[in-house]
C-alpha cells in the first residue's frame, strides 16, 4: 500500500454509527416493555417489587464508577500517562467483574425462588408475570453479554497500551472502546429505572 | 466469433499488480475490488440456487394435488427459496457487490473507510450463509415457516428454525457493518472537488441504503433473538397462552423487513440512474430530486411496516395511518420514474444490453409499484391479502426491479473490471427471454391472486390449473433467459473481445481510470471538476 491512511474522525464516526445500532437493538426490547407494561400494569408492578432494589442500586453505582474510570483513561492516555491509563482501565474491568458478580447473585436468588423462563411457577402464574420476567431475563441477560464483551475489549485495549501501540499520539481505538463502554453504561441507566424504580 | 488467446490483452490492474495469487490473496484481501468480486460470485451463486428452488415450486404447482414433492417438502421449498433470495442474494446483492466494486472509485477514493471491517463483513456473510446451509440438513430438517418466521408456528415447528435464524442474525450483522462502512466512506473519503451534488446517483442511493441498513437491521436482530429464545428457553413473550402477543412479533419483524425492501430496491434505482443518462447521451434530468428522493424513500419507508398486517387484527386507526403513509412512499418512487423518463426524452438512445435491462426495470418496477398501491389500500388489500397477487407484486419489484438492475449493472460495469466484454447479440436474446418469460409468469400470478388463489398453498382448485400451467412454462422461458445471460457474461468476461477505455461514454470517475482498475484505483488523487453526468465536462460528449 502506497500510503497509510489515518482518519481519527472517520473512525469515531463509524463507532457512533455502530452505537446507533446497539441502541436500536435494545430499543426493540424497550418497545416490548412499553406495550406489555400498558397491558399488564399490575403484574409488572408486583414483578418489579420482587427485584432487589439494593443490589440494583449498587450495580448502578458500580457501572457509573466504571464509566468514570473509562473516561479518565482517555484523558490520561492523551497526557501520555501510560501507567495511570493502565490502572484506570483495570479499574473499569474490575467494576465490570463486580457488576457481573452482583448480577449473578440477583439471578441465582430469583432462580432459587423458582422464577426463571419456563419455570413451573411462572407457567402456572398470571400471564403478565411470565411476560415481565421473560423480558427481565432477556434484557438484563443481553446487557450482561454486552458487559462481558465490553470488558474483553477494555482488556484488549489495555494490552495495546501496555505494548505501547496505543499512546498519546494514536489513541482513537482506546477512545472508541470507551465509547462502547459508555453505551453499556447508558443502556443500564435506562434498564435500572424501568425495572427497579418506576414499577 | 472467436478470439485467440495470444491477441488478448493481459488482464492487468488489480488482478495482477499486487503480485499475489491464489485463494488467500482473495479471501484475506482488504482491497474493495477483490471483496466486491467475492460478494459478486457469492450472491450470484445463491441467486442461481434460489432460482432453481423457485423452478421446483413452479413445477410442483403445474397441476393440482401432489406433483413432484410432498407437502412438507413444498413448505421447505418456498421457505428456503425466500430465505436464500432475500438474505443471501438480494439484500447484499447490489450494495455489497457492485457497491464495493464501484462506490469508492466513483467518489475518488483509494478504498473504503474501514478495509479490514469490509473483509470481516464478507466473512460474516460467508459464515451466516454456511449456518443457513447447515440448518437445511441437520436437526428437524429445513425450516418450513416461510421466510417471515411468523410465531407461533416458528416457535413450535420441529424443523430447524433455531439454526436458520442464527444464520440470518449473522447475515444481518454483516449487512450492518457494510452500512457503517459505506456511510463513513462517503462522508470522509470523497476526493477534492467531489461535492455532495457531484456524487454519482448510484453512490447516493448506496448512501441512503446504508442508513437503512444501520437503523433497521438491529430490529430484526433482536426479533430473531426473541424467536430463538422462544424456542430454546420457552420465554413465552409471543405466546398468547402465557400473556405474550404474536402480533408484536409481526410488528417487530416488519419494522425491519419493510425498510429492508428499500435496502433491496434503492441500490437498483441507483444503477438505473447511472445507466440511463449514459445510454441516452444526455445529462440526467432532475439530479437533485433523484438524490433527494432516495433519502425520502429511506425515511418514509421506515414508517409503513404496518401495511403487511392489515388482516392481523390491528386497530382500524392503525390500518388507516399505515395505508396513508404507504401512499406517501409512492411519491418519491414516482419522482424517480418521471425523471428517468424525462432523461430519455429527446435523448440519443442506444439500445445496448445495459440499457435494455434499465428500460425493462422502469416498466416492471412501475407495474410492481402500482400493484403495490392496490395492496397498500386497506379495502382492496383485504381481498388479495396472502394470495398469489402479492407474490406477483413483490416479484415485479424485487426481481423485475432489483434482479434486472443487477444484470444491467453486470453488463455495464463488469467489462471494466475484466477488460473483456460479452457478446451483444446473446445478451439481447437472453434479456428478451428473461423479460418475456418474466411478464407472463408474474402477470399470471397476479391474475390467479385476483381470482383467489392463496399463496403458499400446496394444492389448488381445478379452475386455477390453466394459468398455473402458463406460469410454469413461462418460468422455464425466463430461466432459459437467465442461463443465456449468465453464460454469455461468463464466457465474454474471460474469453471475449478486449474492452478498454470508455466505450459507453460515461462521465463518472470509474471511466477515467485504467482498465482494469489498478489496486490503488487512481495513479494520483483525483481532483473533480465536473458533475457525474456532465459529458462535455468529462470530454466524452
Name the B residues in 223-282 with CB < 8 Å from any A CB.
Answer: 223, 225-226, 229, 233-237, 241-245, 248, 251-252, 255
Helix (H, G, I), strand (E, B) or coil at B377: coil
Q: Judge contact between B180 and B197, C-beta under 8 A.
A: no
Distance from CA of A176 to the nearest CA of B (A): 14
- Residue from the list A14, A128, A138 with its beta carbon closest to the beta carbon of B229: A138
* Strand-pair partners of B387: B454
pLDDT digits (tens, 9 = 90+) for A19-35: 999 999 999 999 999 99
The percentage of chain A sitting over the pLDDT mark of 90, rounded to a whole number, equals 89
The CATH T-level fold of domain B31-512 is: Cytochrome C Oxidase; Chain A (1.20.210)
> Average pLDDT, stretch B481-500?
95
ipTM over 0.90: yes
**Measured between CB atoms, does B176 come within 8 Å of chain A?**
yes
Q: What residue of A is the nearest CA neighbor of B519?
A: A1
Q: What is the pLDDT of residue B3?
A: 36
Q: What gap in Å lies between CA B333 and CA B265, rounded to an integer?
A: 10
Would you list the domain boundaries of chain B? 31-512
Q: How many CB atoms lie within 10 A of CB B275?
A: 28
For the domain made up of A10-197, the CATH class stated in words is: mainly alpha
pLDDT digits (tens, 9 = 90+) for B252-295: 999 999 999 999 999 999 999 999 999 999 999 999 999 999 99
**Measured between CB atoms, does B189 come within 8 Å of chain A?**
yes
Select from B279, B257, B1 the least CA-distant residue to B146: B257
Mutate to test the interface with A, among B222, B226, B305 (most CBs of A within 10 A): B222
What values do phi and psi take at B153, rounded to 5?
-60, -45
Select from B96, B512, B530, B97 the least CA-distant residue to B287: B530
Q: What gap in Å lies between CA A148 and CA A143, rounded to an integer?
A: 9
- How far CA B139 is from CA of B72, B76, B164, B255, in Å, comes to 15, 14, 11, 30
> Average pLDDT, stretch B337-343?
96
Q: What gap in Å lies between CA A133 and CA A129, rounded to an integer?
A: 6
Block residue for cell numbers 464495493:
B100
What is chain B's percent helix, strand, coil content, to nearest 5?
Answer: 70, 0, 30
Would you list the domain boundaries of chain A? 10-197
Mutate to test the interface with A, among B29, B243, B260, B305 (most CBs of A within 10 A): B243
Question: Does residue B457 come out as left (phi exceeding 0), alpha (psi in the -120 to 50 range) or beta?
Answer: beta
pLDDT digits (tens, 9 = 90+) for B221-251: 999 999 999 999 988 899 888 889 999 999 9
Mutate to test the interface with A, among B218, B220, B232, B318 (most CBs of A within 10 A): B218
- Residue from the list A17, A21, A134 with its beta carbon closest to the beta carbon of B236: A134
Supply A91's cell numbers.
479499574
pTM above 0.90, yes or no: yes
Radius of gyration of chain A (CA): 20
> Average pLDDT, stretch A178-194?
96
Helix (H, G, I), strand (E, B) or coil at B323: helix
Q: What value does the mean pLDDT of chain B take?
A: 93
pLDDT digits (tens, 9 = 90+) for B89-121: 999 999 999 999 999 999 999 999 999 999 999
Residue A28 to residue B237, Cβ atoms within 8 A: no
Amino acid at each position: 500500500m502506497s500510503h497509510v491512511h489515518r482518519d481519527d474522525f472517520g473512525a469515531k464516526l463509524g463507532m457512533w454509527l455502530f452505537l446507533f445500532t446497539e441502541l436500536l437493538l435494545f430499543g426493540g426490547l424497550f418497545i416490548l416493555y412499553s406495550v406489555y407494561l400498558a397491558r399488564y400494569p399490575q403484574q409488572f408492578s408486583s414483578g418489579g417489587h420482587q427485584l432487589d432494589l439494593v443490589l440494583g442500586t449498587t450495580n448502578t453505582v458500580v457501572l457509573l464508577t466504571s464509566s468514570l474510570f473509562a473516561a479518565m483513561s482517555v484523558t490520561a492516555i492523551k497526557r501520555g500517562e501510560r501507567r495511570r491509563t493502565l490502572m484506570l482501565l483495570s479499574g473499569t474491568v474490575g467494576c465490570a467483574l463486580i457488576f457481573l458478580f452482583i448480577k449473578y447473585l440477583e439471578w441465582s436468588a430469583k432462580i432459587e425462588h423458582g422464577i426463571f423462563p419456563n419455570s413451573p411457577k411462572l407457567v402456572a402464574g398470571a400471564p403478565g408475570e411470565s411476560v415481565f420476567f421473560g423480558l427481565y431475563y432477556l434484557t438484563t441477560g443481553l446487557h450482561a453479554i454486552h458487559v462481558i464483551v465490553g470488558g474483553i475489549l477494555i482488556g484488549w485495549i489495555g494490552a495495546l497500551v501496555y505494548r505501547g501501540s496505543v499512546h498519546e499520539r494514536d489513541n482513537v481505538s482506546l477512545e472508541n472502546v470507551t465509547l462502547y463502554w459508555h453505551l453499556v453504561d447508558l443502556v443500564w441507566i435506562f434498564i435500572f429505572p424501568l425495572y427497579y424504580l418506576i414499577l | 466469433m472467436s478470439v485467440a488467446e495470444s491477441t488478448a490483452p493481459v488482464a492487468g490492474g488489480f488482478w495482477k499488480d499486487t503480485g499475489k495469487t491464489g485463494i488467500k490473496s482473495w479471501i484475506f484481501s482488504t482491497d474493495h475490488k477483490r471483496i466486491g468480486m467475492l460478494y459478486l460470485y457469492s450472491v450470484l451463486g445463491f441467486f442461481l440456487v434460489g432460482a432453481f428452488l423457485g423452478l421446483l415450486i413452479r413445477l410442483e404447482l403445474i397441476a393440482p394435488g401432489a406433483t413432484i414433492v410432498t407437502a412438507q417438502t413444498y413448505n421447505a421449498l418456498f421457505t428456503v427459496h425466500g430465505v436464500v433470495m432475500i438474505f443471501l442474494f438480494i439484500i447484499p446483492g447490489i450494495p455489497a457487490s457492485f457497491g464495493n466494486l464501484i462506490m469508492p472509485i466513483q467518489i475518488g477514493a483509494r478504498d473504503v473507510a474501514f478495509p479490514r471491517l469490509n473483509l470481516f463483513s464478507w466473512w460474516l456473510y460467508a459464515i451466516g450463509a454456511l449456518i443457513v446451509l447447515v440448518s437445511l440438513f441437520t436437526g428437524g430438517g429445513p425450516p418450513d415457516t416461510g421466510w417471515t418466521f411468523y410465531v407461533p408456528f416458528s416457535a413450535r415447528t420441529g424443523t430447524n428454525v433455531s439454526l436458520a435464524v442464527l444464520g440470518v442474525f449473522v447475515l444481518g450483522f454483516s449487512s450492518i457493518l457494510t452500512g457503517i462502512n459505506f456511510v463513513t466512506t462517503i462522508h470522509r473519503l470523497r476526493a477534492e472537488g467531489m461535492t455532495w451534488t457531484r456524487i454519482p446517483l448510484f453512490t447516493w442511493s448506496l448512501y441512503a441504503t446504508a442508513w437503512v441498513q444501520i437503523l433497521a437491521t438491529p430490529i430484526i436482530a433482536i426479533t430473531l433473538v426473541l424467536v430463538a429464545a422462544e424456542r430454546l428457553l420457552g420465554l413465552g413473550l409471543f405466546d398468547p397462552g402465557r400473556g405474550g402477543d404474536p402480533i408484536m412479533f409481526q410488528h417487530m419483524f416488519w419494522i425491519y423487513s419493510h425498510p429492508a425492501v428499500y435496502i433491496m430496491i434503492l441500490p437498483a434505482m441507483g444503477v438505473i440512474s447511472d445507466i440511463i443518462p449514459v445510454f441516452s447521451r444526455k445529462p440526467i434530468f432532475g439530479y437533485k430530486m433523484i438524490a433527494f428522493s432516495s433519502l425520502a424513500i429511506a425515511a418514509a419507508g421506515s414508517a409503513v411496516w404496518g401495511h403487511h398486517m392489515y388482516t392481523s387484527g390491528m386497530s382500524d386507526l392503525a390500518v388507516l395511518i399505515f395505508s396513508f403513509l404507504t401512499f406517501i412512499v409512492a411519491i418519491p418512487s414516482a419522482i424517480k420514474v418521471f425523471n428517468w423518463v424525462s432523461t430519455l426524452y429527446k435523448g440519443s438512445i442506444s439500445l445496448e444490453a445495459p440499457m435494455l435491462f434499465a428500460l425493462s426495470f422502469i416498466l416492471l418496477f412501475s407495474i410492481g409499484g402500482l400493484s403495490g398501491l392496490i395492496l397498500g389500500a386497506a379495502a382492496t388489500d383485504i381481498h388479495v391479502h396472502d394470495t398469489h397477487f402479492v407474490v406477483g407484486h413483490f416479484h415485479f419489484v424485487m426481481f423485475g426491479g432489483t434482479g434486472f438492475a443487477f444484470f444491467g449493472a453486470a453488463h455495464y460495469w463488469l467489462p471494466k473490471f475484466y477488460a473483456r466484454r460479452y457478446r451483444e447479440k446473446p445478451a439481447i436474446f437472453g434479456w428478451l427471454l428473461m423479460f418475456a418469460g418474466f411478464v407472463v409468469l408474474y402477470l399470471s400470478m397476479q391474475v390467479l391472486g385476483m381470482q383467489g388463489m392463496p399463496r403458499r398453498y400446496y394444492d389448488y382448485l381445478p379452475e386455477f390449473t390453466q394459468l398455473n400451467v402458463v406460469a410454469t412454462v413461462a418460468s422455464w422461458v425466463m430461466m432459459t433467459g437467465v442461463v443465456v445471460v449468465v453464460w454469455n457474461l461468463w464466457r465474454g468476461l474471460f474469453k471475449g473481445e478486449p474492452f478498454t477505455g470508455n466505450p459507453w461514454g460515461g462521465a463518472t470517475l470509474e471511466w477515467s481510470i485504467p482498465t482494469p482498475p489498478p489496486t490503488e484505483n487512481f495513479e494520483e488523487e483525483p481532483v473533480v471538476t465536473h458533475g457525474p453526468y456532465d459529458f462535455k465536462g468529462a470530454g466524452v460528449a
